[in-house]
Amino acid sequence: MNSRPAAGGGRWVEVDPARVARWVAGFTDRHGPPSVSIQAYGLLLTAPDGATAELHTPPGAPPTDDVPAFVAEATAPRRIGLLLARKGAVAVGVAEGADLVVSKVDTRYVQGRTAAGGWSQQRFARRRDNQAKAALGDAADLAVRLLLPEAGSLAALVVGGDRRAVDTVLADRRLASLAALRADRLLDVPEPRHAVLVDAVAAARAVRILVRDPDRDARA
């Protein structure tokens, strides 16, 4: 389970779908039986002591109205697409539940920044921009070949890496049907490699929970 501070207070935890029921049981033990309300993002648990937990529906899962249904949908295997893009590297894949069943990683050289100044710096900057554009064009072609044929079977498309790079790839008109499946979640990943793509499956399926406690030093 991963945890990090949340903007505006509280903390985000990411919980494997199979552990969500246990996590909710632990929250109940620490804070008392919570009330449950339906929200646009999923479910809000409000405990008697004032602690709250926002359970965000994972990508591709339908909305639910209680915790047992939420857990059932979170753990249900579904087919999701993955698109990771950063600088000169892209990784695309399709996951069936927790298993990566389709994958492809492509890298293309993009020149690093130069410390030179003047005309030379401008020339290198133009070359770098052209290399980056070509790399993202290749990324779009790869998505067309591997992901587009799967679009009709995908519950969602989860993206990661550099938002600008991802936006550029999905702006390709050929990928309109994939862009329509894009989940709100943006995975924070390093330069895409096969191992990064494998790890991204778990991150894409994880249930994100925003926890706020009356005592900020308390731990959920």
Pairing state between β 2-5 and 182-187 = unpaired
Does any domain span residue 217? no
> How do residues 12-32 score in pLDDT, each as one tens digit?
999 999 999 999 999 999 999
Show the domain range for 46: 2-77+206-212
Same domain, 135 and 193: yes
Same domain, 152 and 182: yes
Same domain, 66 and 115: no
Same domain, 18 and 120: no
pLDDT of 2 strictly over 80: no
Same domain, 72 and 124: no
Radius of gyration of the chain (CA): 20
Q: pLDDT > 90: what percent of the chain? A: 74
Task: Give the Å distances, CA to CA, from 41 to 59, 70, 145, 175, 210.
Answer: 11, 12, 32, 26, 11
Same domain, 63 and 118: no
| Alpha-carbon gap, residue 69 to 143, rounded angstroms | 33
> How do residues 62-92 score in pLDDT, each as one tens digit?
999 999 999 999 999 999 999 999 877 899 9
Tally Cβ neighbours within 10 Å of residue 121.
13
Same domain, 98 and 117: yes
Does any domain span residue 172? yes
Q: Which residue has the tokens 């929970």?
A: 209
Nearest to 171 by CA among 195, 212, 136: 136
